[in-house]
Amino acid sequence: MLQKAKDGLMDIKLFRRVMNWGKAWSLWSVHLETGCCGPEDMARACARFDTERFGTLPFPTLRECDLIFVTGFVTKKMAKRLKIVYEQMPEPKYVIAIGHCAISGGLWWDSYSVVQGVDEIIPVDVYVPGCPPRPEAWIQGIRMLQEKIAKEGMRKK
């Protein structure tokens, strides 16, 4: 029995799977609203859509979070703070870009103060289009991220 458990732990593949499972199902998201997709953030976190089913719990302290929802456009003023927040978060950390604006600037493509896509500032894992995306789409984004994490190698990220 003991031997079996030891072998199991030594088995890097199994270990990796357990690690990834743990990472994928405890994606706590930091409270940082950047754009006007914000109300849907509230909706998806509350009882009707309840993303806590998928382990995504909004949490105020960024030191304990692994996920940023970039909710919509990012202005140049916010971009610096977004970067600081991202850098302060401990590994592993993931980013979901919500809304057309976070993906490519969207409606504000010619604005003088909006960054044209968050991937200019921080790396993005999943893009969720919509203006704003419905809570179901948020959930799909979370699921996609979980699938991505499940395939992840141990070293990377």
Partner 1 sequence: MSIMKLSIGPQHPISAHFRFLLDVDGDVVLKLEPDVGYTHRGIEKLAEKRTYLQNLPVIERVNSYCDSAGTMLGYLEVIEELMGLEVPERAKYLRVIAAELNRIASHLYAASLFSVATGLETMLMWPINDRELILDLLERLTGQRITYTYQTIGGVRFDMPDGFKEEALKRLDYLEKRTEDYYKMLLWNHTFHMRTKKVGILRPSDAIKLGVVGPNLRASGVKVDVRKDEPYEVYDRFDFSIPTGKNGDSYDRLEVRFKEVGQSINILRQALKDIPKGPIKKWVPPIVPKGEAYTRVEAARGEFGYHLIGDGSMKPYRLKISPPSFRNLIALPHLCQNIPLADVPIIYISLDLIPMDVDR
Partner 2 sequence: MIDKSAEELIVDSVKARFPEEVIEAKVQRKNRVSISVRNNRIYDVGLFLRDELEFDHIASVSGVDYIDMNEFEVIYYVWSINKKVLVGLRTKIPRDNPVLKSLVDVWEGVLYHEREVWEMFGIKFEGHPNLSLLLLPEDWDGPPPLRKDFVLPETHQERLEEKIKKLSSG
- In this structure, what token pair is assigned to residue 68? 């940023």
8 Å CB contact between 73 and 108: yes
Least distance to partner 2, CB of residue 116, Å: 6
Q: Cα separation of 69 and 93, whole Å?
A: 11
- Verify binding: residue 112, partner 2, rule CB under 8 A: yes
Site residues for ligand SF4, 77-136, by CB under 6 A, read: 99-101, 106-107, 131-132
Rounded (10°) CA dihedral 136, 137, 139, 142: 180
C-alpha closest to that of 101 among 84, 85, 124, 135: 124
CA dist 27 → 53, 55, 114 (Å): 11, 6, 28
C-alpha closest to that of 129 among 113, 105, 145, 150: 105
Which residue, judged by CB position, is nearest to ligand SF4 in the bound state? 72
Task: By CB under 6 A, name the one of 19, 32, 36, 57 that touches ligand SF4.
Answer: 36
Give the total of residues touching partner 2 (CB under 8 A): 9
Contact map string, positions 36 to 75, toward partner 2, x by CB under 8 A = ---------------------------------------x
By the 10 Å C-beta count (0-12 exposed, 13-18 middle, 19+ buried), 142 is classed as buried
Q: What DSSP designation does 91 have?
A: S
Least distance to partner 2, CB of residue 43, Å: 28
116 binds, among ligand SF4, partner 1, partner 2, none (CB under 5 to 8 A by kind): partner 2
Least distance to ligand SF4, CB of residue 109, Å: 11
Contact map string, positions 69 to 98, toward partner 2, x by CB under 8 A = ------xxx---------------------
Residues that bind ligand SF4 (CB under 6 A): 35-37, 72-73, 99-101, 106-107, 131-132
